[in-house]
Amino acid sequence: MKIVRAVIGLACLVALAVVLWFATKPPPLIVQGEVSANRVDLSPRVSGRVAKLNADVGDNVKAGTVIAELESPQLVAGLHMSEAALAVAQADLVRVNSTRPETIDARRAELAAADADVTLYQEASARQAKLVTSGSSTQSQVEEATRNLEAAIRKRESAQADLDLAVAGASKEEKQLAATQVEQAKASLNQQQVDVNELIIHAPIDGQVTTRVAELGENFSAGAPLFSIIDIANPWFTFNLREDLLKGLKVGDTFKVTVPALNSAELEVKVTVINAQGQYATWRATRATGDFDLRTFEVRAVPVAPVDGLRPGMSIIASWPPATER
């Protein structure tokens, strides 16, 4: 009988200890994170007035889709001016690289006339040389005929040089300058064309439009935001944890989280980033406790499998420390 009482008493003590242990056991630590996604704030590179809007808040767009068109009369006028400047430069390049046929024919005619003069004065000089030997001509007449011949020869040389210049056209330096001016005009036209092309706004990523600032007819300067697009197809989760809670967590580890907004659905996530936050996010100890300062770390994770319905801003819950799988 005594033995039975002792066993019952011992069982009561054990049960009481178990109850006390469960009563004093601290509850599991719950950490809260948030669903995030990459966001692109879309803005024009040039100023312009909104002429067309092809997307609104809530629309899903594909990368490269035209979602807005701007107009700028100033840029279009500048483009036309650059086109005209290029045409002028190209015409000048053609001019310096060619000579009119009429000009060449005129220079050839001048050379032929100079040749005829040389022949004429050569005959006159020879005749005076014979006459002077017989006394029928004076020395001064001979010298005059010689000077006339010399002048005719120089005139022929000048006519030949003019013909060569007409055939060759402009100098090498002038041609090079004209060619450089053409390249400069092309570069200016290309810049103007690039600016005009920037009036067409394309979506840079696949995603959903979450903000639309643009309104038809409104002027926007370069860099002013028009749309915000979020890549909702590739969400990620972020937690801010004190370093003593990391418990050896590593990039590549997986653990479970729940999403209250999705009927507390349980998801498996994989750690992709563990980064220390700035000093402002440091947990400061007090001297009374004898603790030390603890840094706060950002832990990022991505869902292992695609999840429908996840939206940026949703809360996620995880028991900590999690049962990680490596």
Indicate the burial class of 254 (C-beta count within 10 angstroms; 0-12, 13-18, 19 or more).
Answer: middle
Same domain as 153, residue 126: yes
Same domain as 244, residue 304: yes
Distances (CA, A) of 259 to 28, 246, 262, 267, 317: 18, 21, 5, 8, 6
Q: What is the mean pLDDT of residues 79-98?
A: 89
Same domain as 183, residue 159: yes
Same domain as 167, residue 204: no
Same domain as 86, residue 140: yes
Same domain as 185, residue 122: yes
Total domain count, the chain: 3
In a domain, 217, yes or no: yes
Same domain as 66, residue 140: no
Instruction: Name the pLDDT band for 280 (thresholds 50, 70, 90).
Output: low
Kindly report the backbone phi and psi dihedral angles of residue 249, in degrees, each rounded to the nearest multiple of 5, phi listed first: -60, 140
The pairing of strands 48-53 and 227-230 is unpaired
Instruction: Name the pLDDT band for 93 (thresholds 50, 70, 90).
Output: confident
Q: Please list, in sequence order, all residues whose beta carbon lies within 8 angstroms of the beta carbon of residue 158, skipping any fewer than 6 positions away.
A: 114
Same domain as 159, residue 224: no
Least confident of 126-135, 152-161, 245-254, 312-321: 126-135
Q: How does DSSP classify residue 28?
A: P
In a domain, 11, yes or no: no
Q: How does DSSP classify residue 325?
A: B
- What is the C-alpha separation between 101 and 23, in angstroms, rounded? 113
Confidence (pLDDT) at 323: 62
Q: What is the mean pLDDT of residues 122-145?
A: 72
Q: What is the pLDDT of residues 170-206, one digit of tens each?
A: 677 888 888 999 999 999 999 999 999 999 999 999 9
In a domain, 34, yes or no: no
Compute CA 198 distance to the chain's CA centroid, rounded to the nearest angstrom.
Answer: 11
Kindly report the backbone phi and psi dihedral angles of residue 184, in degrees, each rounded to the nearest multiple of 5, phi listed first: -65, -40
In a domain, 153, yes or no: yes
Confidence (pLDDT) at 290: 53
Amino acid letter at 3?
A: I
Domain range for 277 is 235-320
In a domain, 24, yes or no: no
Report which secondary-structure segment, H or E, holds 263. none
In a domain, 27, yes or no: no
Same domain as 212, residue 248: no
Mean pLDDT over the full length of the chain: 82
Same domain as 59, residue 204: yes
